[in-house]
Structure 1
Amino acid sequence: MNLVQPSLWNQAQQTLEEVWGYSAFRPSQAEVVQSLLAQRDSLSIMPTGGGKSICFQLPALLQPGLTLVVSPLVALMENQVQELQQRRLPAALLHSELPIRQRKQTLWALEQQKLRLLYLSPETLLSPAVWERICQPNLKINSLVLDEAHCLAQWGDSFRPAYYRLGAVRPALLRTKPPGTRIAIAAFTATADPQAQKTIQHILQLRQPQVFRCNPYRDNLHLLVKTAWTPRGRKQQLLQFIQARPQQAGLVYVRTRRDSESLVTWLQQEGYTTTAYHAGLSPEERRAIEQAWLHGHTQFVICTSAFGLGINKPACRWVIHFHVPFLLSEYVQEIGRAGRDGEPAIALTLVSEPTGWLDSGDKQRRQFFADKLRSQQQIASQLIHKFPRQGTVEAVSRQFPDGAIALSLLQAAGQLRWQDPFHYAIASTNQSSTTLNQLQTQAIAQMTDYLRTRQCRWQFLLSAFGFAAEATNFRCGHCDCCQS
């Protein structure tokens, strides 16, 4: 059912064709656009390459006021804003790597209400310079969009704690705006299992959200898992795969910066020209590697999970996980980089033999990840008795190195609430974090179960991401399990 006036909907369809060149919306796009135009809260789960950006960019152009787009990575923001600016649309971005002059220009445009879309990270949104300006009573804000919302569930309690403060943004902003002001919140992601959906809705404090879910199955993406019996055998399987596809673009995912650099050194010795991509590179180095791969000057990149979000190369023919991802949501995000043009593509994962006797790499990495999560929770449990019952994240972070992460872990365990994005109140010091531990343990085990399954791999993924009805008796016919 259409939630907006016919005249506004006609304008939306006309803008879709004039600005983006599409004569019709893709599946679910129309419903999501209608929801935002009606200023309804929503959670949209759409596959990579499904056109989710248009779902919030188009309403932003048709409504007066500003749409704030919270995005996790600089590359993702830059790519989207560059495309919008090339279409002469009033969009800008703010992040810590911007030159001072460009940052001042964007802040001035924000104050003068010359923008319709402003892209920023959660940390930048909550920085004093930005927060002070968006709280001005005369600055109209129509919606807050969380792009790549799975990052909230994946990182918010252990890596990017600012994500867990986003739920306090709308109430705090509304206290500064004229009575009757409405601000919609829309979350978008390609991967969110039922538990992640609950986390996103709870942390963002969504109000009776409309939930739009698209089946993640891609009939052109062939899933393979192969055992690597030794570290040397893992390298040889990678080399043989690449040698068999000399003209095809791809990505090789590893776990750490050191892994990417050592693998690049070895491949260069084997005669390949490739580069390592990780968060330790400068912005200029990262952009240069991205552009070289996008334009075909580099056949493949050895990268950590820092590479991929928002980087669109439709003709990427393969993705290899040289190291196993820790989480199934991370895996689905990364294999989604392949075959976005609809042509056949391969997603290969190399795994250590089950016992770990011959190659303990996967087991050690998985244990390290689990131990790190457990350590953070123990630190949070200890710090809760040292924190003031009420205070600010700034003061806690100054006094305790892991203070901000500890606050988010306490929030995840139900022991803390945010009075606004900067002030917290500890609600209880007695509740246990057992449930949080169980959820994290289950998430890690789920990835292992996927790698060991003998059922259709797409059937496993459909079931894991909440599409149980579609998964019943499903066989893709082209994954390694189906073919064997």
Structure 2
Amino acid sequence: MNSHKTKSWKEVRAAFQKIWGYEDFRPPQGEIVSSLISQKDALVIMPTGGGKSICFQLPALLQTGVTLVVSPLVALMENQVQELVQCQQKAALLHSELSTFQRRKTLQALEEQQLRLLYLSPETLLSPPVWERLCQPQLQINGLILDEAHCLVQWGETFRPAYRRLGAIRPALLKHKPPGTKISIAAFTATADPIAQKTIQTVLQLQQPEIFRLNPYRPNLHPSVCIAWTPRGRKQQLVKFIQNRPQQAGLIYVRTRRDSEDLAAWLSQMGYATAIYHAGLGAAERREVEASWLGGKIPFVVCTCAFGMGINKPDVRWVVHYHAPHLLSEYVQEIGRAGRDGKPAEALTLVSEPTGWLDSEDKQRQQFFQAKMRSQQQTAQQLIKRLPQQGNVNTVSKEFPDGAIALALLHSSGQLNWLDPFHYKIVHKTNNQPSTQLQATKQMTQYLNTKQCRWQFLLNAFGFTQEATNWHCGHCDNCHS
């Protein structure tokens, strides 16, 4: 059995004040902490900057045993672990960029039960050296936290298929633990519409989760969408926007690595100090860019969606989407990086005119994304005919280049079950479900073209329909016009 002495609420608050120095919880932090301490499953949806990480860090630090935090990006893990270590807390991380010595040291600390929090990616969690240790009967695991849980929905069917196997982890671990052991699962995100919420609950196999939802509305955040008639016009609008905001901290989001390199090179020629950030950079380069931006050496970064998750810079005054994201959840995540200090912040999105005659780039981008999704679906359906009824994900990945993604897609369409995190079983159901990703791209297009209050549209899209009735924020471009 997990040895849990129930902490009195007084002790919980005292620990909170001692570690973080805050006087008291902001609602609903207290309720979430209390729910996790009593080891219930939970789904938590709170806007960026709402203090989500404290909600799972505090219960983990108050319990004996380790809590596993599954996190999508190295930068995100490093930021959180660094802050915890500075507060003298027993936290560590594991990822592929660590030296062999570091890895060995962390794995040893895990085995010796010296850690309260261990941060890792889904891929690292399912790697043999880590998985073998987690299965040791004497290792006490209290819970599994999925941080930035929208990544499961956004990336689980495309380039991070390990996300779709996370639901098989709890039952597999419990087989190795003493009878009566409890392992709770909680998912945290700033953005999940009703479909995404259902996906997260289903994939993780949450058991009667307590659900905490705060709507994404931020009164200090002013969204607007502007048409850029030509590629040259788009650049000019961007420069004019930056010129009018000298020395303000901001972010410019683009779609691809190449876009970030081209745009940053052009801005440098125009005399702007900036840097690029994408998943293709080495660890040291990424840290350097983050540090320069956080420290104010460069006012803005030209980045892909790889930047900003969990990076806390309160005084970001603007976010520009030089290219619109494909998904509304990505959009809300990214604009949420602005104005965390509560002061006014702007979120500008540049789009081609809807026909695509003068500038077809946006249309091509959308079509390319959709075509890629469809071709992955087709590959998955063809693969189902060639695969053994039951098998191992690693064997399939070795044999077929997109094998792991195909298995994730089959799982998503209800044609495959995970027997444990490594073994699947095909259950032949016909696949007639459109991909959730393809449905979601339509929603993004509707948002960009809507004439209604933008926040009203977002509240409806994220399932806050009651709050959205008769809503006018008064500070988006549509309300102004």
- Give TM-score scaled by structure 1 length: 0.98
- Higher alpha-carbon deviation: 66-75 or 6-15: 6-15
Which residue matches 1:185? 185
Q: How does 1:315-326 map to 2 (within 5 A)?
A: 315-326=315-326
CA shift, 1:10, in A, is: 1.3
Cα distance in 2 for partners of 1:348, 1:295 equals: 24
Cα distance in 2 for partners of 1:153, 1:257 equals: 22
Cα contact 2:150–2:192 (8 A) shared by 1: yes
1:478 to 466, 475, 478: 475
- The alignment partner of 1:237 has SS state of helix
1:455 equivalent to 2:452? Answer yes
Instruction: Write out per-residue CA displacement over residues 367-410 of structure 1, whole angstroms, 9 at most, x where no aligned residue.
Output: 00000000000000000011110010010001001000000000
Which residue matches 1:405? 405
Which residue matches 2:31? 31
Amino acid at match of 1:384: I
1:440 equivalent to 2:437? Answer yes
- The alignment partner of 1:380 has SS state of helix
Cα contact 2:226–2:349 (8 A) shared by 1: yes
CA shift, 1:279, in A, is: 1.0
Cα contact 1:417–1:425 (8 A) shared by 2: yes
Unpaired runs of at least 5, structure 2: none
CA shift, 1:34, in A, is: 0.9
Q: Runs of 4+ in structure 1 displaced over 3 angstroms?
A: 4-7
Amino acid at match of 2:455: W
Which residue matches 1:261? 261
Q: How does 1:85-96 map to 2 (within 5 A)?
A: 85-96=85-96
Cα contact 2:144–2:184 (8 A) shared by 1: yes
Which residue matches 2:274? 274
Which residue matches 1:66? 66
Cα distance in 2 for partners of 1:413, 1:289 equals: 39
Which residue matches 2:13? 13
Cα distance in 2 for partners of 1:272, 1:441 equals: 37
Which residue matches 2:430? 431
Amino acid at match of 2:206: L
CA shift, 1:6, in A, is: 8.2
Instruction: Write out per-residue CA displacement over residues 307-347 of structure 1, whole angstroms, 9 at most, x where no aligned residue.
Output: 01111110010000000100000000000100001000000
Amino acid at match of 2:443: Q
Amino acid at match of 2:288: A
Cα distance in 2 for partners of 1:176, 1:373 equals: 38
Amino acid at match of 2:304: T
Q: How does 1:70-149 map to 2 (within 5 A)?
A: 70-149=70-149
Amino acid at match of 2:461: A
Amino acid at match of 2:456: Q
Cα distance in 2 for partners of 1:398, 1:143 equals: 32
Cα contact 1:412–1:436 (8 A) shared by 2: no
Which residue matches 1:289? 289
Cα distance in 2 for partners of 1:68, 1:282 equals: 25
CA shift, 1:280, in A, is: 1.1
Amino acid at match of 1:69: V
Amino acid at match of 1:405: I
Cα distance in 1 for partners of 2:359, 2:26 equals: 45
Say what the alpha-carbon RMSD is for the aligned residues.
1.0
CA shift, 1:441, in A, is: 2.6
CA shift, 1:436, in A, is: 3.2
Cα distance in 2 for partners of 1:141, 1:217 equals: 36
Q: For the structure 1 residues 217 and 5, does the alpha-carbon distance in structure 2 shift closer, same or farther, using more than 3 Å as the test? A: farther
Cα contact 2:417–2:424 (8 A) shared by 1: yes
Unpaired runs of at least 5, structure 1: none
Which residue matches 2:416? 416
Cα contact 1:92–1:106 (8 A) shared by 2: yes
Cα contact 1:72–1:121 (8 A) shared by 2: yes
- The alignment partner of 1:384 has SS state of helix
Report how many aligned residue pairs link the two structures: 478
CA shift, 1:7, in A, is: 4.8
Amino acid at match of 2:46: M
Instruction: Write out per-residue CA displacement over residues 280-313 of structure 1, whole angstroms, 9 at most, x where no aligned residue.
Output: 1100000000000000000100000010111111
Cα contact 1:224–1:349 (8 A) shared by 2: yes
Amino acid at match of 2:17: E
- The alignment partner of 1:158 has SS state of coil
Cα distance in 1 for partners of 2:434, 2:208 equals: 25
Which residue matches 2:209? 209
CA shift, 1:273, in A, is: 1.2
Instruction: Write out per-residue CA displacement over residues 105-153 of structure 1, whole angstroms, 9 at most, x where no aligned residue.
Output: 0000000000000000000000000000010000000100000000001
- Give TM-score scaled by structure 2 length: 0.98
CA shift, 1:5, in A, is: 9.1
CA shift, 1:11, in A, is: 1.0
Which residue matches 2:382? 382
1:468 equivalent to 2:456? Answer no
Q: For the structure 1 residues 190 and 78, does the alpha-carbon distance in structure 2 shift closer, same or farther, using more than 3 Å as the test? A: same
Cα distance in 1 for partners of 2:7, 2:77 equals: 31
